[in-house]
């Protein structure tokens, strides 16, 4: 059984920039005041820093069984 990680940015994201600044793998990108974008999900290490540091709980790291 293997897992991959899905990153989901929710509609309440305000584009504060914390997640794409903190991500150590360059998975996320964005422009200030616009919803964050997922650039390369396959590089995600599952550190959960984005999810744990978003002040709006607007980004989720979801393990998907594949």
The binding site for ligand SF4 (CB under 6 A) comprises: 7, 9, 13-19, 22-25, 27-28, 30, 36, 44-50, 54, 56, 58-59, 61
Give min distance, CB of 20 to ligand SF4, in A: 7
At closest approach, how far in Å is the CB of 1 from ligand SF4? 20
Q: With respect to ligand SF4, which residue has the nearer C-beta, 3 or 48?
A: 48
- Number of CB atoms found within 10 A of residue 15's CB: 17
DSSP 28-65: EE--TTS--EES-GGG-----HHHHH-TT--EEEEEEE
């Amino acid at each position: 059984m293997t897992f991959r990680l899905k990153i989901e940015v929710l509609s309440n994201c305000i584009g504060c920039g914390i997640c794409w600044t903190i991500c150590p793998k360059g998975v996320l990108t964005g422009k200030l005041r616009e919803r964050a974008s997922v650039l390369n999900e396959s590089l995600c290490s599952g550190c959960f820093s984005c999810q744990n540091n978003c002040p709006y709980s607007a980004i989720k790291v979801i393990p998907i069984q594949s």
